[in-house]
Structure 1
Amino acid sequence: MESLVVPALILLAVVAGVTVAYRAARRRKAAHGASRSRPAATPQELARAAAGRLSEDEHRRLYALIAQGQAMAAIKFYYESTGEGLRASRDAVGALAAHPQPYRSPEPVQALQEDDDEPQRFAYRYRAIASKGDVTREVSSNMLNDEIYGRIRTLARSGETEAAANALTRHSDITLKQAREFIELLDD
């Protein structure tokens, strides 16, 4: 009888391990399936959003590349202009080619100070890096995130460098002079 106790315990441990692994795999598959069930943006919505990320000159140049049949150059141009990922740039250019969008001037950009009285502090530090040539600047702050940094970049690219520098100073611990140096690297 004692000779069967050890193999029985090993068998029970193996069965328990397989059961736990099976349940974990089912949960992972269910979670993956749930994330796929979200409705994707329609191609028209994707085209509209993609066109909204471009300045008037970028919009014109992108459509010139599309009209000339230079899809790869158009994707590269969109990628460099917006900072989106390569796959997102490919999808955006495809949507813009299939559903042409007229250029719409952006709403007047309000200063970030109007949106929030006191900057929110996040649980993580956000790192923003800008470089031009061999000059590189970095801002690290727990009052920045993708959305706020995107608004600062939009301000800089639309020529409102002083508003962008003020917003960056407000959402970080750098001086206005350092913020202006950082913004100079963004506005081309």
Structure 2
Amino acid sequence: MESLVVPVLILLAVVAGVILAYRAARKRKAERGATQSLPAATPQELARAAAERLSEDEHRRLYALIAQGQAMAAVKLYYEITGEGLRASRDAVGALAAHPQPYRSPEPTQPPEEAEDEPQRFPYRYRAIASKGDVTREVSSNMLNDEIYGRIRTLARSGDTEAAVNALTRHSDISPKQAREFIELLDD
């Protein structure tokens, strides 16, 4: 019986090795399948995306390391900055070295502009009166309020007559000629 113990142990070791190898091969195949289903980014796209993740100082330091030929230090710096994996950091630094990217500051978010289509209508009619000497003009509209009229008055007083005329005609039902006559009375 002693003579069978050694061959049985060898057989068990071989079976365990085959099972482990089979599982590892399945795992590798599954990982390859998952990465192949994702669209592969070109090196230029990878470099652009990597550069966008860096601040101006980080960008400068990373390219200084690349220029000095310190690839490992550059990978380590990128890894520390972004927190991505080592392989992703290596790929990003390689793409940045192969396809240098200038630093681009983040685009400032633009506040939404007021809709130029239709001015807001208020539940009341606003009455604006301008007079100079014997001449008096009146504009009455439910698209005017103190704020809008204040902007029109400021435009007129600063000398931007056309902008004031356009704003007044947009926020009332008067003609450009009538608006121009009204604005002329505001010019002081």
TM over 0.5: no
Instruction: Please give the range of the TM-score, normalised by the shorter of the 2 chains.
Output: 0.3 to 0.5
Question: Normalising by structure 1, what TM-score?
Answer: 0.40
Give the number of the structure whose alpha-carbon radius of gyration is greater.
Answer: 2
